[in-house]
């Protein structure tokens, strides 16, 4: 008598999150599984929604400035610069050259601090503990430099309309020289730990591949976009602050997989180090704040759109003024939201074990998604 030897399988659903350590915040994925394979993924966001845009519309421009730091807590300097640049465009303020260089240098220090966290946490998600300790070691160097000048270690509140809050203290110069000297060797340590590690390569090479066309269609930006072979970086293509004087060559990689998204951020740390060195070598003399800039401006009616290249990509602010001392419309285009938008498509057909490296390689910050 013939027997049916086919194995009958049945799909089932698994909740990953919202309180899951590898989602780096509160993010829920409802996974439809067929054994170890992901059939579908239904992402759920909104657990962190704080109404940042509506709060901005109900506060004076200066009142929202410290809150802008909290939109993406790992990119505080970038959020504040975008806010101030938007106000400065309305007020037709030309920021002093020294302030532009300081803003640029501190943004690049903030970028390194963010990428150090990515390096450490991405490796930790895949089971490697040592990179986590190494990444936080170098992040402390950047935090020390930022604290010397701003007094804060995460949300800096350093940028002001027309410049920055304070000039560099004397203790900053020997500290930044030490940083410039030691940091390249520390990045070499990162590369030695992971770049050729067999387990790391098996978990990231050829996993979560996104080609250039799909990356563009989903509105990707930052290292994720450039890891798919698209040469676009606001620091080069639409220079702002001091980037036009310093020059910058973006890090562009061809494969679009988890490994390239990791490697792009490692190489960007070296590029940011070079920019910091250029800023210190070419730092102009002069004031750090434009004179006679109102702290409580009433902006003329109109609209502006400001973009900065944050560690996660193209951070945009659309500001509409109706002539009062508060924004009429404050609309954010944050990079993490678009970068996360492809997660459903990326996870279909992969193994359960691939979810963590794919999600981790996107370097998503959930407050940047939910705002």
Question: Would you say the pTM of this structure is higher than 0.85?
Answer: yes
Higher pLDDT, 23 or 245: 245
| Span 307-323, average pLDDT | 96
Rounded Cα distance, 252 and 232, in Å: 9
Segment 182-228, tens digit of pLDDT: 999 999 999 999 999 999 999 999 999 999 999 999 999 999 999 99
Segment 176-189, tens digit of pLDDT: 999 999 999 999 99
Supply φ then ψ for residue 96, to 5 degrees: -55, 145
pLDDT class of 79 with cuts at 50, 70, 90: very high
Measured in Å, how far apart are the chain's first and last C-alpha atoms? 64
What percent of the chain has pLDDT above 70? 98
Place of tokens 């690049």: 108
Q: Which two tokens stand for residue 104?
A: 């640029």
| Span 334-354, average pLDDT | 93
Segment 93-115, tens digit of pLDDT: 999 999 999 999 999 999 999 99
Tell me what pLDDT residue 1 has.
Answer: 47
CB burial string 78-101: b at 16+ within 10 A, e below:
bbbbbbbbbbbbbbebebbbbbbb
pLDDT class of 48 with cuts at 50, 70, 90: confident
Q: For 325, how many CA atoms within 13 A lie in the half-sphere containing its CB?
A: 8
Alpha helices in the chain (DSSP H): 52-57, 61-68, 76-91, 97-125, 130-150, 172-194, 198-204, 212-217, 222-226, 234-237, 243-246, 258-281, 335-340, 343-347, 355-361, 366-370
Supply φ then ψ for residue 33, to 5 degrees: -115, 145
Rounded Cα distance, 371 and 54, in Å: 10
Q: Which of 86, 105, 85, 104 is nearest to 95 (CA)?
A: 85
Residue 3 has pLDDT above 70, yes or no: no
- The pLDDT mean for the chain works out to 93
Environment class of 13 (CB within 10 Å of its CB; exposed 0-12, middle 13-18, buried 19+): exposed
List the beta bridge partners of residue 16: 29
Rounded Cα distance, 162 and 98, in Å: 11
Tell me what pLDDT residue 5 has.
Answer: 63
Contact 93, 290 (CB under 8 A): yes
Residue 156 has pLDDT above 60, yes or no: yes
- Decide yes or no: CATH 1.10.645.10 for domain 65-296: yes
Residue 24 has pLDDT above 80, yes or no: no
CB burial string 114-151: b at 16+ within 10 A, e below:
bbbbbbbbbbbbbebeebbebbbebbebbbbbbebbbe
Segment 110-155, tens digit of pLDDT: 999 999 999 999 999 999 999 999 999 999 999 999 999 999 988 9
Q: Which two tokens stand for residue 170?
A: 């004397």
Rounded Cα distance, 229 and 215, in Å: 9
Diameter of the chain by CA atoms? 96
DSSP 8-state symbol, 162: T
Tell me what pLDDT residue 314 has.
Answer: 96
Tell me what pLDDT residue 4 has.
Answer: 57
Segment 223-259, tens digit of pLDDT: 999 999 999 999 999 999 999 999 899 999 999 999 9
- A 10 A CB-CB count for 55 gives 14
């Amino acid at each position: 008598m013939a027997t049916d030897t086919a194995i009958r399988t049945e799909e089932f659903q698994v909740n990953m999150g919202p309180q899951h350590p590898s989602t780096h915040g509160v993010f829920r994925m409802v996974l439809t599984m067929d054994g170890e394979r992901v059939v579908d993924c239904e992402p759920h966001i909104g657990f962190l929604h704080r109404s940042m845009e509506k709060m901005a519309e109900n506060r004076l421009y200066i009142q929202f400035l410290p809150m802008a730091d909290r939109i993406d807590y790992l990119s505080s300097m970038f959020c504040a610069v975008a806010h101030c640049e938007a106000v400065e465009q309305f007020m037709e303020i030309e920021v002093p050259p020294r302030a532009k260089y300081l803003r640029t240098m501190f943004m690049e220090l903030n970028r390194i601090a963010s990428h150090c966290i990515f390096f450490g946490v991405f490796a930790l998600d895949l089971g490697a503990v040592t990179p986590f300790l190494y990444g936080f070691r170098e992040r402390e160097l950047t935090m020390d430099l930022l604290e010397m000048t701003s007094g804060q270690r995460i949300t800096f509140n350093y940028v002001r309309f027309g410049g920055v809050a304070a000039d560099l203290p004397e203790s900053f110069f020997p500290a930044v020289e030490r940083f410039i000297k030691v940091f390249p060797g520390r990045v070499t340590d990162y590369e030695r730990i992971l770049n050729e590690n067999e387990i790391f390569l098996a978990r990231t090479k050829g996993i979560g591949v996104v080609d250039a066309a799909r990356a563009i269609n989903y509105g990707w930006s930052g290292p994720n976009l450039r890891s798919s072979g698209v040469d676009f970086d606001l620091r080069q293509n639409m220079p702002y602050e001091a980037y036009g004087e310093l020059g910058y060559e973006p890090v562009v990689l061809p494969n679009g997989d988890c490994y390239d998204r990791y490697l792009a951020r490692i190489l960007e740390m070296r590029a940011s180090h070079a920019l910091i060195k250029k800023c210190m070598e070419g730092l102009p003399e002069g004031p750090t704040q434009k004179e006679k800039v109102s702290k409580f401006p009433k902006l003329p009616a109109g609209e502006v759109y400001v973009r900065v290249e944050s560690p996660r990509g193209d951070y945009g602010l659309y500001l509409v003024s109706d002539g009062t001392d508060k924004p009429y419309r404050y609309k954010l285009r944050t990079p993490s939201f678009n970068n996360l938008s492809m997660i459903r498509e990326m996870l279909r057909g992969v193994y359960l074990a691939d979810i963590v490296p794919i999600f981790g390689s996107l370097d998503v910050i959930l407050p940047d998604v939910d705002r």
